Structure 1
Amino acid sequence: MKFETILEEIDGFGPFQIIIIVLMCTPRIVLPCHFLLNNFIAASPPHRCDISSLDDGGLFENLTLGQRLTASIPVQEDGEPKSCEMFAEPQLQLLANSSDSADLPTVQCQSGWVYDNSTFTSTLATEWDLVCDRKSLTKTTSTIFFFGVMMGAIAFGYLCDRYGRRNTLLASYIMAIVFGFSSTFANSYVLFAVLRFLTGFGLTGISITSIVLSIEWVDTGRRSFIGVIGSLAWSVGNMLLAGFAFLVNDWRTLIMTVTAPLGFAVLTWWWIPESARWLLANGKVERAQFYLDRCAKFNKRPKLSSKLKLETLSSIEIREKSQKSFTYLHLIKTPKMRQLTLLSGIVWYGVASTYYGISLNISGFGLNMYLTHFIYAAIEVPAKLMIYCLLNIIGRRKCQAGTLLLTGVCIALNMFIPKGLWHLRAVVAILGKGLSEASFTTIFLYTTELYPTVIRQNGLGYTSFMSRLGVSVAPLILLLEDVWTLLPQIIICSVAIVSGLVSLLLPETLNMSLPETIDDIEKPRRNDASSQSAEPSGVFLQPKSTTDTPQ
């Protein structure tokens, strides 16, 4: 007996499931607002050395600001003052163009910097002077945040399987709210970095729990629909971030703005049901009966005909849990689980590193950063609609491999397109961004279908850890452009292609019932059709019942 049999009686996709999707939208909209927030709060506006200390009423008394800048700061090729250098001594002879400034001695800025506040009232860079020789600290802020996300993935993956999806989700909401708002009051860079780490830690629970909780309540044919709808909420939040950042120019206020919706999410948490799959897998039959009866009521179906059916199902589901509880070690204890863990981890690393490597680089195409970010976010919508259609036609594995490989091709093409053709470069980059998001949409759904219920959240916690490892490295990879301009693109392109090839080794899960126990992965059942018996990775999944039809 499978859980899908129970869902058939109470409707695996009705008003009850729609309510779950709606309740999960608000927190998922918040996620991209924090994950890509560094594009705006850590932006470095145009700046130059502060020369006010040179204005002592003597030499500069009768000079205009322009003349003072000419005598104090060397210029770049475009005629603008250099950002990080000034002359060792004021060079008044330059006012008459009597000498070449290239040979004049310069020093680093001595009295701080003056910033152009026309775009941003305040950013991390202007708050703590994270420019010039300290500019890497702005990227480091993003890396620290994603390290928090990475650690949270491990912690919440365990907590969700141990204490349930619903309770862990509430803990995530509260942590994200507390540390998110606290970071806006940070009075030093170190304190801010610590609070951003903790904010990322809390947000991870929302990321990995919401998608699993949604998918575990729907039937086999609608899993791809749920995965794509949940992912569309991310795209909406991503587009809203561009609007919020355009309207709110102060970094502290912007963090408050994007964190505030989680207060509404806490209020709606009371209507979120626990996963009946998880309850049955842990022997909590009566509690599972409560939520399944509520589902039947909302979907206008009769209550379950017999509690004996649930008890029978529960006894099967907890077969492996009778003598032990599951930990992350069970991901690698058996051969096929070990193979699945290795391959899925590599793919997740590649997907995340590629997506954020593109998303965190929103300059260089002749458009302002707000418009570029919005376009990058907007292209995700048609990409997700496209992948939704393909998921049920060509399957998960081909979609995963195809989107990653094509993303790598787009990145490679942009390395050879001249910078003067910025229109073409922008089109190719936007196409690559859409494909990278399509690969992210696929991997979330794909992973929930690959891992069995008893360790599904542990599996998603592990893969989310690998994902955030890739994300944490992405900002540091972008810093390598100071070594060689093309080096970041070469690395990201290579990662996309390699992870795309690795995904071809994973099993197909289209029209397959969700595995419930590790035995479902390790030992194919006797009633498995022979046509379903050979998958490239050697991992077996239960074929879907013939009464189910893909959406």
Structure 2
Amino acid sequence: MAFNDLLQQLGGIGRFQQIQVTLLLLPMLLMASHNTLQNFTAAIPTHHCRPPAEANLSKEGEAWLPRDRQGQPESCLQFTSPQQGPPFPNGTETDGVGATEPCTNGWIYDNSTFPSTIVTEWDLVCSHRVLRQLAQSLYMVGVLLGAIVFGHLADRCGVDAHSHAGPCRHPDWLCLQSGPVPAGWRGLCCAPLAPTAVGGLCAVFRRLHLLLVLRASLQKELTMGKVQASAMELLRCPTLRRLFLCLSMLWFATSFAYYGLVMDLQGFGVSIYLIQVIFGAVDLPAKLVSFLVINSLGRRPAQMASLLLAGICILVNGMMPRDQSIVRTSLAVLGKGCLASSFNCIFLYTGEVYPTMIRQTGLGMGSMTARLGSIVSPLVSMTSELYPTLPLFIYGTIPVAASAVVVLLPETMGQPLPDTVQDIKNRRRGKPKRQQQEQQKQMIPLQASAQEKNGP
């Protein structure tokens, strides 16, 4: 790729790139907290039916509440009439005494842990508890729409902002900023620019030569490219379509299983605050291990192993007894770490598989597919109404199936980035070395220019 080669010739990553990455990391660190906010804003506190208004005494109110096997009030049932004596464990009796019905007067919530949530505000419990998952899906729909709308606006505003920032790079910028300085001292602000005038002319010629070489290289890439940077080209071109379908399944499976785990923290039977901290802390070692595997074994083994291991952890978790909270939490943390590694790998893998002409479009489509997975994931948790562990089996099966798709993708470690669809075809035929040699020949004038610039 011409720009990448030019950047390497000019010194590679510099202070500007480091500052840009640092500034971009700050909002990204907070993004995951927003996506998992519903663990707290939609938490389900302990609750039971509110007795009728006339049952104002606590002892009389308890007469309306059947008890479960642990002796706690049932969450969604009340007696049809107050019971005298000890309550029945199951809330029913053969002669009709102790018959139960759904809550008719609302619920009473335990506000000791969560003072207020959307569940307590809108009574999203019992027959309405599925609406809680719908709220998370609607949030993810907003994330998807925001990415589409504001991504387009960011491109437009970014170009405008860049054009406004242009004068700041002008050599006379320092003189323009000397306005607040007293008149007798303003000349000192511009005086240092005078000795650089002659040297500046030489630098202009060197940079002009570099730009001409870059322009010729880019023009060659544009003429060689046979695709347009549009999403539809991902489906029209057979080579790109195969990559798009495989990568889309990886994006979907990773996001689908990831949000299936992190959005059900109350189901592990431990402190929701503690497990949130553990889930957040596991990302750092997981991505470190992922980095080492990616750069030692390759992208394809890292992607396959992360998805496969994550799916296995979720499936085993679904088969564990509910009272084994420590084991279930450990499996969930390991699975979440593997999914974080999968995200880390899929971003890099997607950028290296797609050709330059459609690379950003491919990354955008992959991210959109991930958003679809995060939208569907909360809806799948509604299947727990049919069978309590059914969602975990679904969350585990999808990444295991997706890991098999990785074998259809090429290994990109140590390979030059493809510029065109033809480069992808050549890579499949084993021609990357010859292509890399041709690129190096094209960069000989660039290397000479860089040496001239850095010479004595």
Q: 1:318 aligns with which of 197, 201, 222?
A: 222
The answer to whether the aligner puts 1:345 opposite 2:345 as a matched pair is no
Which of 63, 71, 75 is the equivalent residue of 2:63?
71
Partner of 1:114, secondary structure, is strand
Rounded Cα–Cα distance in structure 2 between residues aligned with 1:159 and 1:135: 37
Secondary structure of 1:392's partner?
helix
1:324 to partner: Cα distance: 8.3
- 1:139 corresponds to which of 120, 129, 133: 133
Q: Which residue of 2 aligns with 1:513?
A: 416
Q: Which residue of 1 aligns with 2:239?
A: 336
Paired residue for 1:108, among 96, 102, 106? 102
State how far apart, in whole Å, the 2-side matches of 1:116 and 1:48 are.
9
CA distance in 2: counterparts of 1:426 and 1:80, whole angstroms: 25
In structure 2, the CA distance between the partners of 1:28 and 1:99, relative to structure 1 (3 Å rule), is: closer
C-alpha contact 1:404 1:497 (8 A) present in aligned 2: yes
Q: Residue 42 of structure 2 corresponds to which residue in structure 1?
A: 42
User: Alpha-carbon deviation of 1:524?
Assistant: 5.6
Check whether the contact 1:331–1:338 (CA below 8 A) recurs between aligned residues: yes
Alpha carbons of 1:165 and 1:345: their partners in 2 closer, same or farther (altered >3 Å)?
farther
- Which digits, 9 at most, give the CA deviation of each residue in 1:397-439, with x for residues without a partner? 1100011111122122223333443322222221111111111
State how far apart, in whole Å, the 1-side matches of 2:7 and 2:252 are: 34
Larger radius of gyration: 2
Q: Aligned equivalents of 1:488 and 1:99: distance in 2? A: 29
Task: Give the letter aligned to residue 318 of structure 1.
Answer: L
Give the alignment of 1:189-208 within 5 angstroms: none
Q: What letter is aligned with 1:20?
A: Q
- Structure 1 stretches of 5 or more lacking a match? 171-268, 274-301, 534-539
| Partner Cα separation in structure 2 for residue 169 and residue 71 of structure 1 | 68
SS state of the match for residue 343, structure 2? helix
- What's the counterpart of residue 355 of structure 2? 452
Return the offset for 1:499.
0.6
Question: Which is worse superposed, 41-50 or 390-399?
Answer: 41-50
What is the deviation of 1:52? Answer: 5.6
Distance 2:410 2:267 in 1: 39
Change (3 A) 1:99 1:11: closer
Q: 2:177 matched to 1:149? A: no
The residue matched to 2:53 in structure 1 has which SS?
A: helix
Task: Give 1:24's aligned residue.
Answer: 24
Cα distance between partner residues in 1 of 2:51 and 2:266: 29
CA offsets per residue over residues 261-303 of structure 1, 9 Å max, x none?
Answer: xxxxxxxx989x9xxxxxxxxxxxxxxxxxxxxxxxxxxxx96
Is 2:85 the counterpart of 1:94? yes
**Which one of 70, 76, 79 corresponds to residue 84 of structure 1?**
76
Q: Helix, strand or coil: the match of 2:411? A: coil
TM-score by length of 1: 0.65
Q: 1:498 to 1:542 in 2, by over 3 A?
A: farther
The residue that corresponds to 2:336 in the other structure is 433
SS of equivalent residue, structure 1 residue 16: helix
**Alpha-carbon shift at residue 342 of structure 1 (Å):** 0.9
RMSD: 3.4
Contact kept? 1:402, 1:500, Cα under 8 Å: yes
Instruction: Please state how far the C-alpha of 1:340 moved relative to its aligned partner.
Output: 0.6
Establish whether residue 395 from structure 1 lines up as the match of residue 301 from structure 2.
no
Which of 365, 368, 377 is equivalent to 2:280? Answer: 377
CA distance 1:542–1:398, change in 2 (3 Å):
farther
Check whether the contact 2:260–2:377 (CA below 8 A) recurs between aligned residues: yes
Which amino acid in 1 is paired with 2:377? A
- Which amino acid in the other structure matches residue 166 of structure 1? G
Q: Is the 8 Å Cα contact of residues 407 and 435 (structure 1) preserved in structure 2?
A: yes
CA contact (8 A) 2:41 2:118 kept: yes
Identity of aligned residues (%): 35
* Correspondence list, 1:445-524, <5 A: 445-522=348-425
Give TM-score, length-normalised by structure 2.
0.78
Which ranges of structure 2 fall in alignment gaps of 5 or more residues?
A: 169-205, 444-456
SS, match of residue 365 in structure 2:
helix
